[in-house]
Amino acid sequence: MNGTFCCINKLMEYVVCIVGYLMQWVGVLMGVAFFTLLERKILGYAGMRKGPNKVGYIGILQPFADAVKLFTKEDVVPMKSSVMLYMISPVLALFMPLCMWCVFPYWFVGVEFSWGWLYVFCGLGMGVYSLFLSGWSSNSKYAVMGSLRAVAQMISYEVVLAMVVMLFVFFLGSYDMGLWGYTSLLGVGLLPLLWIWMTVMLGESQRSPFDLAEGESELVSGFNTEYSGVGFALLFMGEYGAMLLMSMLSSVLFLGSVVDSIFFPVVLWFFGFVYLWARATFPRVRYDQLMYLAWKSLLPNLLWLTVVSVSILLMVSY
């Protein structure tokens, strides 16, 4: 009987965990939908217009109208393209950000990630493949050029992102986000790194002013040039899901936000607003400036800060 009860308890734990993850993913997708509406509203008011305001009250149903339009459009597969990779890439682009949301310490998710930040680094590295494959499999020179830009940019800024996180790891001694959520004083102490992190956040997500992977004035639409219908919608959702993911990581990293805090949604949407404010404000940089900023400005300064931090820790420990 005891064995039976143990099996039932284990089964219930798995069911609760799966249901929790599904609720989490539905919440993220709903957040993505309204994040697109918020972007169009902010860009509208930045250009002295109202933005979407016809579908529903003040345009609140516009994301759902866009979803119906995109998911009912015909999917056109280019000739001489790698069909299997062409179809899989958008799914992978959306799946990776959703998987990385699992490391956030929700109370209804019964799995603790002791190596949460390491898992995030692996997920961000895997996200490069979806962008590269979507461009390469399209058999379009514009898409290939956009995907090559995206790969170089993401690899460059992932190095800088890892260095910022490692500074926190040196002081805290753990990769566990659940522990980081209750040590907000550490993030406040390293708050001067916030400006570097925001720059890296924009570069890693390939958002303005670092949106050279799309480059509408140069590459038509970049790596997603040949996509339409469901494929374009999945790539679009993956991009905005990654933006919300980076906003969540920012809130955990610097302000120690946990899900049971009433300030978590405020902090998350503040970092989300940074994306939109930057797009409405800054012009696109040149590609050489993008790489110079990552490899010759941010990375050397972070290496210097890392050496100083390790030296301080060694002096304190001895």
Picking from 204, 163, 99, 95, the residue whose alpha carbon sits closest to that of residue 304 is: 163
Say if 26 falls within a structural domain. Answer: no
So what's the pLDDT on residue 188?
Answer: 58
Q: How far is CA 10 from CA 15, 85, 223, 236, in A?
A: 9, 38, 44, 37
So what's the pLDDT on residue 295?
Answer: 92
So what's the pLDDT on residue 38?
Answer: 92
How far, rounded to the nearest angstrom, does the alpha carbon of residue 262 sit from its chain's CA centroid? 22
First to last CA, the chain: 55
pTM of the predicted structure, to 2 decimals: 0.89
Say if 262 falls within a structural domain. Answer: yes
Question: DSSP secondary structure string, 182-250?
Answer: T-HHHHHHTGGGHHHHHHHHHHHTT-TTS-TTT-HHHHTTGGGTT--HHHHHHHHHHHHHHHHHHHHHH
How far, rounded to the nearest angstrom, does the alpha carbon of residue 56 sit from its chain's CA centroid? 29
Local confidence pLDDT in tens for the 318 residues of the chain: 556 767 777 777 777 777 778 888 888 899 999 999 999 999 999 888 888 888 888 888 999 998 898 888 888 888 878 888 888 989 988 998 888 888 776 655 556 677 888 888 888 888 888 888 888 888 888 888 888 888 888 889 999 998 888 888 877 777 777 666 555 555 555 777 888 888 999 988 888 888 887 766 666 677 888 888 888 889 889 889 999 999 988 888 877 655 567 777 888 888 889 889 998 888 888 888 989 999 999 999 888 888 887 787 778 776
Say if 60 falls within a structural domain. Answer: no
So what's the pLDDT on residue 32?
Answer: 92
Say if 15 falls within a structural domain. Answer: no
Say if 4 falls within a structural domain. Answer: no
Residue 72: which residues within 8 A CB-CB, separation 6 or more? 229
Say if 189 falls within a structural domain. Answer: yes
Picking from 132, 30, 93, the residue whose alpha carbon sits closest to that of residue 239 is: 93
Structural domain span for residue 205: 77-317
Look at the chain and report how many structural domains it folds into: 1
Asked if residue 209 has a cis previous peptide bond (ω within 30° of 0), the answer is yes
HEC string of 193-212 equals HHHHHHHHHHHHCCCCCCCC
C-alpha–C-alpha distance, residues 242 and 231, integer Å: 17
Cβ–Cβ under 8 Å, residues 147 and 131: yes
Phi-psi region of 49 (alpha: psi -120 to 50; beta: other; left: phi over 0): beta
Say if 27 falls within a structural domain. Answer: no
C-alpha–C-alpha distance, residues 272 and 42, integer Å: 12
Say if 70 falls within a structural domain. Answer: no
C-alpha–C-alpha distance, residues 112 and 110, integer Å: 7
At residue 112, what are phi and psi to the nearest 5 degrees? -105, 130
E runs forming strands in the chain: none
